[in-house]
């Protein structure tokens, strides 16, 4: 870590010393993160001036790893409130700027000095980074860097956010949001999710009582309920999220309802005609949502309306997921690649187009070489296409 001992910078831009004057504190909360923490701290240790870690009750080597990187380590009893723990970390920080990051995330600084240059921007209160929420997902922009200011606090027992306070400071001080040429990659969410659903559901139920109008809480509750097999309750949570989104003028609130529509479509899979109708209703509200386009294509296939899905999957496969990004939405790259080609292959197969089916399955196999099913289908349809047609009779 760099320690210049410069203290708080003067108000407004100075000269080239401004970069050195702006100190950055990484603020984290952790618990039993020995599997992830080392890689996280390695990614930030040379980019920030201090690392503040608040431990909420680790029983593994988490604290030892933190000390090895020179982190300032604090204990905070877990109260079931993520915002309270994060705010305790803010209270311990001494930098001019806060980078908030989790143990299962990695900071990506593509060019030397990019983070320092970002916080040197005058009249900026917060910075959005290029955030990849899961492996094999496209990135979006998320605010992860902001000025250390007692008016900016996290709120919410789960899915905590400082956005309301940031917007208040923006309006009060006439400052701006900006973009940092850095990224954060999230490496979690792999593996079994039932434990997470069970942990989060009581927190989400408490959160919607305190903040009943926040769409994201309802969509995440629907996901947890569906993951636990409580489908009727999941559907009710989805409908509540959709109602709130339709009544909101805030762009993020409105987009946060897309997963609720997707979950309703998935819950209607046993009734393909209903799933098609739901997907069309959702796309009328979100015509540019590629996830909903893919869901419609799948519903059309299930409903036997094969011809209608080809334009959709062709449009999806025309998108390069390696260069695609959206300001507020992340997409699973597979809807632009292997999944779309697999669906296209199945549609061609249903129509008896063996060569086209083989080609589509081969494209899926090339994009996912570990998926033996794609390769098997490509081989089978290629062989069937090469076989001479049997004479009638």
Q: What is the pLDDT of residues 196-206, one digit of tens each?
A: 999 999 999 99
**Annotated domain spans of the chain:** 17-186, 194-386
- Geometric angle at alpha carbon 257, from 250 and 219, rounded to 5°: 120
**CB 152 within 8 Å of CB 205:** no
Distance CA 217, CA 59 (A): 30
Q: Specify the length of the chain in residues.
A: 393
Distance CA 78, CA 55 (A): 9
The predicted-structure confidence for 273-325, as pLDDT tens digits, reads as follows 999 999 999 999 999 999 999 999 999 999 999 999 999 999 999 999 999 99
Q: How much of the chain exceeds pLDDT 70, in percent?
A: 92
Q: Which residue has the higher pLDDT, 7 or 125?
A: 125
Q: Does residue 283 sit in helix, strand or coil?
A: helix
- pLDDT score for 385: 86
Distance CA 144, CA 186 (A): 13
Scan for tokens 């949001």, then name that residue.
177
Looking only at the bridges linking them, the beta strands covering 97-100 and 24-30 are: parallel
- pLDDT score for 53: 98
Distance CA 115, CA 175 (A): 19
What sign for the dihedral angle of Cα 37, 324, 345, 271?
Answer: positive
- pLDDT score for 1: 52
Distance CA 121, CA 130 (A): 18
- pLDDT score for 14: 39
Give the CATH fold of the 17-186 domain.
Spore Coat Polysaccharide Biosynthesis Protein SpsA; Chain A (3.90.550)
The whole-model pTM stands at 0.89
Close Cβ partners of 327 (under 8 Å, ≥ 6 residues apart): 140, 141
- 194-386 has CATH 1.10.510.10 classification: no
């Amino acid at each position: 870590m760099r320690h210049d001992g410069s203290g708080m910078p003067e108000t407004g831009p100075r000269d080239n010393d401004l970069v050195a004057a702006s100190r950055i504190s990484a603020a984290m909360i952790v618990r039993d993160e020995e599997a992830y923490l080392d890689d996280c701290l390695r990614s930030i240790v040379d980019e920030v001036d201090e690392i503040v870690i608040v431990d909420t009750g680790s029983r593994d080597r988490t604290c030892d790893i933190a000390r090895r990187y020179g982190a300032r380590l604090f204990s905070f009893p877990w109260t079931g409130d993520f915002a309270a723990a994060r705010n305790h970390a803010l209270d311990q920080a001494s930098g001019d700027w806060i980078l908030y990051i989790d143990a299962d995330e990695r900071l990506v600084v593509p060019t030397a000095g990019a983070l320092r240059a970002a916080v040197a921007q005058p009249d900026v209160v917060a910075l959005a980074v290029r955030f990849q929420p899961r492996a094999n997902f496209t990135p979006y922009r998320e605010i992860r860097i902001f000025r250390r200011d007692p008016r900016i606090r996290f709120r919410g027992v789960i899915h905590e956010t400082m956005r309301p306070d940031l917007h208040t400071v923006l309006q009060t001080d006439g400052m701006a949001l900006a973009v940092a040429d850095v990224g954060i990659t999230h490496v979690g969410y792999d593996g079994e999710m039932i434990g997470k659903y069970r942990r989060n559901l009581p927190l989400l139920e408490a959160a919607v009582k305190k903040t009943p109008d926040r769409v994201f809480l309802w969509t995440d509750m629907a996901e947890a309920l569906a993951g636990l097999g409580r489908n009727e309750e999941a559907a009710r949570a989805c409908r509540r999220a959709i109602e709130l989104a339709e009544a909101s003028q805030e762009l993020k609130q409105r987009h946060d309802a897309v997963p609720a529509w997707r979950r309703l479509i998935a819950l209607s899979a046993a009734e393909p005609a209903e799933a098609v109708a739901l997907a069309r209703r959702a796309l009328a509200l979100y015509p540019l949502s590629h996830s909903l386009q893919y869901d419609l294509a799948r519903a059309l296939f299930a409903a036997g309306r094969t011809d209608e899905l080809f334009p959709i999957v062709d449009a999806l496969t025309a998108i390069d997921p390696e260069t695609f990004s959206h300001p507020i939405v992340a997409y699973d790259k597979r809807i632009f690649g292997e999944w779309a080609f697999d669906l296209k292959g199945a549609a061609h197969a249903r129509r008896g187009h063996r060569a086209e089916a083989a080609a589509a399955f081969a494209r899926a196999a090339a994009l996912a070489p570990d998926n033996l099913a794609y390769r098997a289908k490509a081989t089978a349809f290629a062989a069937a296409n090469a076989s001479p047609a049997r004479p009638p009779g």
